[in-house]
Structure 1
Amino acid sequence: MGEMKRIGILTSGGDCAGLNAIIRAVVCRAAGGYGWKVMGIRQATQGLMSDPPQIMTLEPDKVDHLLTMGGTILGTTNKGDPFAFPMPDGTVRDRSEDIIAGYRQLGLDAIIGIGGDGSLAILRRIAQQGDLNLVAIPKTIDNDIGITENSIGFDTAVNIATEALDRLHFTAASHSRVMILEVMGRDAGHIAISAGIAGGADVVLIPEIAYTLENVCQQIQERQSQGKNYCLIVVSEAVCTPDGETVTNTNALGQCRLGGIGEHLADQISACIGAETRVTVLGHTQRGGIPSPLDRLTASAFGVAAVELIAEGLYDRMVTWQNRQVVSVPIAEAISYYRAVDPNGTLVKTARGLGICLGD
């Protein structure tokens, strides 16, 4: 089996379906295949900041049930930049060296980091600073890490949004309503355009394509003139108002979040053409639940491939899905290429070819 290794694994950033499937694959290959010790780091880098580090030992017989389980058994966080970590007294402190010390204290030979572009950028910076052996796995429901065709969590999110559209068809038709489905998408419209096509939406609004309220209302009225008494609209949460303003809401903790464009559009459409309009906001339901078969498959392939990179001594690399196979690329290259929806790409051309209004 070769040299005994101790590897860590952590999940960072927002949760999504498929994270536990990755953990399972890593443990099955590393512990079951190579006889290595695998330690799960709790709450992302915060687990390494603790003294002693917060971990759980992962063994094959303890991870068999994880394939279909949503979320992450390790916990995760998308708050608290380690280079400017908020302290109880209100100050901020650079705690990157604490993370490096935790890695050393555990005697790790390598660490597998699962995250999006922001999380992986932070992990890589720490790894470079401390000369840590890092292998990365991409996950994001937004699917905006450009160098991989699939990121963990995206397919499940699209499935959930599509199912919602399938359900909304019937209630929209029953009440002759315009139904607006607001989906996630921090900066990119991949979920909206994919679910819109798969779910038979009539209008899809994404941040990559400017729209006008007049064009949206015209689509609704054209359907009415054809005897179609309802309309389905999918809108990404990152879409601005027709005036270019970002719609957000602030909670009691002072945290500002994207959200509310669906309600804004509903009011505007009702005022413009008098259509009865209802809004459904999927929110975090797109992150939760049982991962789709494709996410389980991709997660399993990524987890095994990440372990093989460690076995070959190849670090500072991210596994990706390209041309129907898993390959690895430098992490810096992977996170430097952001992929929004291409206004001239296949999905947009498909939507237009089907008669879906994109608002422009």
Structure 2
Amino acid sequence: MKVKRIGVLTGGGDAPGLNPAIKGLVYRASDHGISVIGLYDGWRSLLDPPLETWPLDRETVRRWDRDGGTNLGSSRTNPFKAPNEAGERVDRSDEVIKNMEKLGLDALVACGGEDTLGVAARLTQKGVPVVGVPKTIDKDLAGTDYTLGFDTALRNVTEIIEWSRNPAGSHGWVQVIEVMGRHAGHLAFWSGVAGQADLILIPEHPFSYAKVFALLRERMGDPNRLTRDPRRPRYSVIVVAEGAYAEDGQIVTLDDRQDAFGHARLGGIGEILARKIREETPYDARSAAIGHPQRGGHPSPIDRIMGLSFGARAADAIAAGDFGKMVSARGIAPSFELSLVDLGIVVGNLNTLDVARYYDTERYHAKNLGM
């Protein structure tokens, strides 16, 4: 089949690197004589009329590599569990196929994380020609060493950790910083290493409140001492992933609602930890849940390079008729080796932090990395 016209969409949470990926796709696709149509708001674009599209050419996307977020918009729509006119969640995946035909699309490029690419994998089984581009600041996708958005989020969170030291040190309190990371602690861990946080709590290893309190006492000593020891710090910084939980507890959620993929909204573990520190230790504590700004801002150089590279590789795969695949990066940034892996590899699999290699489960921070 000669591919002449393709659609591209971005699903799930926005991430720096998506716009560079779209630019890389459009530029390389034009080399192959393939036109690209932007689809608004993820999988929703192929379900709800009117079908909003944006013809993309080199001039349109020329400056997109400088933009954070996604210029095509996004959503957490699941075509296999989408609301119908009665408000019931049903399988509407056949509408995706029909609407692709209406738009004259020969193939799709889906940029997203485990949910967006999980939909792509299921559509592949129904005969839809799809190529995936990995995106998530959690860096938890199986089959690749890099996902778009991670490096920029790492930069952002590291800066916030550094900025938090000033008020914490001035007032002598414990600063708890809650960052994203549902199942994987890559962002919390590596930002904690870069920002030299005193404790790092991740989803891969349940923590003990008693142990946290003991480590704080070991670092900060008696807050009521009459004379200050300049060699002993008066403050601490703790980085905690939103999916981290205590040994005697469970993952903390904001409410009981779930999205179309069955995910609850995580958040609140940072405030709970800060409150327990205030109640059960002699130290004052503050919490800051960074939220969505941690994935904001302009893409880092790594995310620009990887976005352009991922997009171009996706266009090559489509031109070669190599569907049902996700672009994968192996190696060390920015000179990754790109390849293609089956989309099915992302379904039910996660790339979590190698606790045995990197994480000190007794000290709750990095081992052999200067901490």
TM-score (normalizing by structure 2): 0.89
Counterparts of residues 168-317 of structure 1 (less than 5 Å): 168-225=164-221, 227-250=232-255, 256-317=264-325
Q: Distance in 1 between matches of 2:256 and 2:68?
A: 26
Paired residues of 1:193 and 1:348 also in contact (CA < 8 A): no
Per the alignment, in what secondary structure is the counterpart of residue 72 of structure 1? coil
Paired residue for 2:75? Answer: 77
Paired residues of 1:145 and 1:335 also in contact (CA < 8 A): no
2:357 to 339, 342, 345: 345
Paired residues of 1:189 and 1:340 also in contact (CA < 8 A): yes
Counterparts of residues 131-146 of structure 1 (less than 5 Å): 131-146=127-142
Paired residues of 2:82 and 2:89 also in contact (CA < 8 A): yes
Q: Distance in 1 between matches of 2:256 and 2:194?
A: 33
Paired residue for 2:99? Answer: 102
Q: Distance in 1 between matches of 2:4 and 2:50?
A: 20
Deviation at 1:5, TM superposition (A): 1.1
- Cα 1:128–1:117 change in 2 (3 A) is same
Deviation at 1:348, TM superposition (A): 5.4
- Cα 1:93–1:3 change in 2 (3 A) is closer
Deviation at 1:50, TM superposition (A): 3.5
- Cα 1:91–1:224 change in 2 (3 A) is closer
- Cα 1:192–1:145 change in 2 (3 A) is same
Q: Which 10-residue stretch deviates more, 227-236 or 253-262?
A: 253-262
Paired residues of 2:156 and 2:295 also in contact (CA < 8 A): no
1:333 to 326, 330, 345: 345
Q: Distance in 2 between matches of 1:244 and 1:3?
A: 55
Q: Which letter maps to 1:150?
A: Y
Q: Distance in 1 between matches of 2:201 and 2:55?
A: 45
In the TM superposition, what whole-angstrom CA distance separates every residue of 1:90-115 from its partner, at most 9, and x where no partner exists? 32332111110011112222111111
Q: Distance in 1 between matches of 2:152 and 2:286?
A: 24
Q: Distance in 2 between matches of 1:272 and 1:166?
A: 26
Q: How many residues align?
A: 352
Deviation at 1:48, TM superposition (A): 1.4
Deviation at 1:229, TM superposition (A): 0.6
* Residue segments in structure 1 that go unaligned for 5+ positions in a row: none
In the TM superposition, what whole-angstrom CA distance separates every residue of 1:155-194 from its partner, at most 9, and x where no partner exists? 1111111000110112211111110100011111111101
Q: Distance in 1 between matches of 2:88 and 2:180?
A: 32
Q: Distance in 2 between matches of 1:3 and 1:96?
A: 24
Q: Distance in 2 between matches of 1:146 and 1:45?
A: 21
Structure 1 residue 113 and structure 2 residue 110: aligned?
A: yes
Paired residues of 2:206 and 2:246 also in contact (CA < 8 A): no
Q: Which letter maps to 1:83?
A: F
Counterparts of residues 14-53 of structure 1 (less than 5 Å): 14-31=13-30, 33-51=31-49, 53=51
Q: Which 10-residue stretch deviates more, 302-311 or 44-53?
A: 44-53
Deviation at 1:354, TM superposition (A): 4.8
Q: Distance in 2 between matches of 1:51 and 1:248?
A: 33
Q: Distance in 2 between matches of 1:348 and 1:303?
A: 37
Deviation at 1:132, TM superposition (A): 1.7
Paired residues of 2:17 and 2:299 also in contact (CA < 8 A): yes
Deviation at 1:146, TM superposition (A): 2.3
* Residue segments in structure 2 that go unaligned for 5+ positions in a row: 222-230
- Cα 1:252–1:244 change in 2 (3 A) is closer
Q: Provide the identity percentage.
A: 37
In the TM superposition, what whole-angstrom CA distance separates every residue of 1:18-49 from its partner, at most 9, and x where no partner exists? 11111111111112x22321101111122112
Q: Distance in 2 between matches of 1:118 and 1:256?
A: 13
Per the alignment, in what secondary structure is the counterpart of residue 204 of structure 1? strand
Per the alignment, in what secondary structure is the counterpart of residue 153 of structure 2? helix
Q: Which letter maps to 1:353?
A: N
Per the alignment, in what secondary structure is the counterpart of residue 254 of structure 2? strand
Deviation at 1:312, TM superposition (A): 1.4
TM-score (normalizing by structure 1): 0.92
In the TM superposition, what whole-angstrom CA distance separates every residue of 1:226-251 from its partner, at most 9, and x where no partner exists? 61111010000111244222212228
